[in-house]
Amino acid sequence: MADDHAGRNLPPLSLHIPEPRFRPGDTVDFGHFEIPAADASSRPPIDAAAEAMRGHSYGLVRVLDEDDRAVGAWDPKLSPERLLRMLRHMALTRAFDERMYRAQRQGKTSFYMKCTGEEATCIPATHALDRGDMVFPSYRQQGVLIARDWSLVDMICQIYSNSGDRLKGRQMPIMYSAKEANFFSISGNLATQYPQAVGWAMASAAKGDTRIATAWCGEGSTAEGDFHSALTFASVYRAPVVLNVVNNQWAISSFSGFAGAEATTFAARAVGYGIAGLRVDGNDALAVYAATEWAAERARGNHGPTLIEHFTYRSEGHSTSDDPTKYRSADERTAWPLGDPIARLKAHVIAIGAWDEERHAAMDRELAEQVRAAGKQAEALGVLGDGMHQPFSTMFEDVFEEMPWHLREQSAQMHAERAVSGITAGGEK
């Protein structure tokens, strides 16, 4: 066949390869990032048509202004008691992260992930939900468990895969599961929690229940197919679900541009699916509370799902296995213009006269001691660095109510082979 383009002297096709603005050693300037005024965003009625909310997918819902005051239509007007409880949960999460990070460095566990700088993306959200609402978290939402006053000892036993670990050492450290806290098991397979949350929400509606579902994933994870099929189902059936995207701008060493951030916002994914989208200052605890409250009320009133993008910054490495100095400028953290979420909430409660530096310092000391004591209690039940604390045979249990023949066979074979190697059935070595 003749080549239609022959002789037309067209330029060769090429691809656009995204490149982050700053690399190690670069001077960081976030001047291109326009921050709207804290009172700039309107608060639509909870039954607003999705298309009327287009602007909210490209704007930035904010509440705390430059003088640390709560302003504008989104001010959730929380009591000082509620603000201080949120502040305490955020500070406890940071203290927990600090200690567990050090525990990993001391060889007590193999792996840990911090959420430093992102505490406001899930703790105020949890405060705005009902305790019965189901949470489908990613691996960086330890703050949800802490905001639901879950036992720190239980969390650390899981991190140490010790004899107190309810999950019997079968999950990677930090992949918690807490049914009583309505906190679904964390999976390392990115975005799987999105279809699960939408499915749970649809089942809740099908049963005529009143509980809604929520999910969190990172901005990088929005590139997964699961994210998109979940949004289709959520839109078609108007599932009662709140879908959170934590845009911390990094997916391990890949910057957000590889998930589409150069072309549009993550909240704007909602526009294509015909659902409500809100882009929120993820370091403003009051804005996150207000957005979640709005979306939860919308879902509970059968007005449909909401996609919330929390714009924030991953202050530290992706995990204890990562070294961010290799791929991004060290100045990004300090130059990030939306500040630190704990410092901002603290400044607000001080500005309204409900708190002061002395009480904050005393609280930090108390929380560090609470985490230390929980760590000691968990350590008494063993640490991962000392070897296995659960009998091998448990690895075949608990999936089926009655163990099927092929698992019985595999279990017997394992015990036989270990016996040949001179290892006892429950032995750890």
* 126-165 footprint of ligand TPP as x/- string (CB under 6 A): --------------x-------------------------
Identify the bridge partners of residue 251 per DSSP, sorted by sequence position.
254
What part of residues 60-119 is at the interface with ligand TPP (CB under 6 A)? none
- In angstroms, what CA-CA distances link 237 with 202, 298, 301, 425? 8, 14, 14, 51
What part of residues 204-243 is at the interface with Mg ion (CB under 5 A)? 218-220
Single-letter residue type at 409: E
The residue (of 220 and 304) whose beta carbon lies closer to ligand TPP is 220
87 binds, among ligand TPP, Mg ion, none (CB under 5 to 8 A by kind): none
Which of 184, 183, 169, 214 minimizes the C-alpha distance to 389? 169
- In angstroms, what CA-CA distances link 213 with 148, 176, 413? 15, 18, 42
174 binds ligand TPP (CB under 6 A): no
d(CA 137, CA 121): 12
Shortest Cβ 134–ligand TPP spacing (Å): 20
d(CA 121, CA 215): 12
320, 154 contact by CB (below 8 A): no
Element containing residue 309 per DSSP (H, E): strand 306-311
Q: Is 201 exposed, middle or buried (0-12, 13-18, 19+ CB in 10 A)?
A: buried
Shortest Cβ 224–Mg ion spacing (Å): 12
Q: Which of 74, 96, 176, 250 binds ligand TPP (CB under 6 A)?
A: 250
Single-letter residue type at 254: S
Q: Which of 28, 48, 71, 252 binds ligand TPP (CB under 6 A)?
A: 252
Shortest Cβ 93–ligand TPP spacing (Å): 15
Shortest Cβ 253–ligand TPP spacing (Å): 9
Q: Which residue is nearest to Mg ion (CB)?
A: 218
Which region, judged by CB under 6 A, interacts with ligand TPP, from 174-182, 186-194, 263-271, 290-298?
186-194
189 binds ligand TPP (CB under 6 A): yes
Q: Which of 83, 153, 186, 190 binds ligand TPP (CB under 6 A)?
A: 190
Shortest Cβ 273–Mg ion spacing (Å): 21
Shortest Cβ 172–ligand TPP spacing (Å): 10
Q: Is 91 exposed, middle or buried (0-12, 13-18, 19+ CB in 10 A)?
A: buried
251 binds Mg ion (CB under 5 A): yes
Shortest Cβ 256–Mg ion spacing (Å): 7
d(CA 259, CA 270): 15
* 217-236 footprint of ligand TPP as x/- string (CB under 6 A): xxxxx--x------------
Element containing residue 247 per DSSP (H, E): strand 241-247
57, 279 contact by CB (below 8 A): yes
The residue (of 279 and 314) whose beta carbon lies closer to ligand TPP is 314
190 binds, among Mg ion, ligand TPP, none (CB under 5 to 8 A by kind): ligand TPP
Identify the bridge partners of residue 64 per DSSP, sorted by sequence position.
70
148, 181 contact by CB (below 8 A): yes
Shortest Cβ 244–ligand TPP spacing (Å): 11
Shortest Cβ 315–ligand TPP spacing (Å): 11
* 339-378 footprint of Mg ion as x/- string (CB under 5 A): ----------------------------------------
Q: Are strands 306-311 and 241-247 parallel, antiparallel or unpaired?
A: parallel
What part of residues 308-327 is at the interface with ligand TPP (CB under 6 A)? 314, 318
3-state secondary structure 412-425: HHHHHHHHHCCCCC
The residue (of 218 and 382) whose beta carbon lies closer to Mg ion is 218
Displacement of CA 251 from its chain's centroid (Å): 13
Which of 272, 357, 288 minimizes the C-alpha distance to 61? 288
277 binds ligand TPP (CB under 6 A): no
Residue numbers of the site for ligand TPP (CB under 6 A)? 140, 188-190, 217-221, 224, 246, 248, 250-252, 314, 318
Residue numbers of the site for Mg ion (CB under 5 A)? 218-220, 248, 251
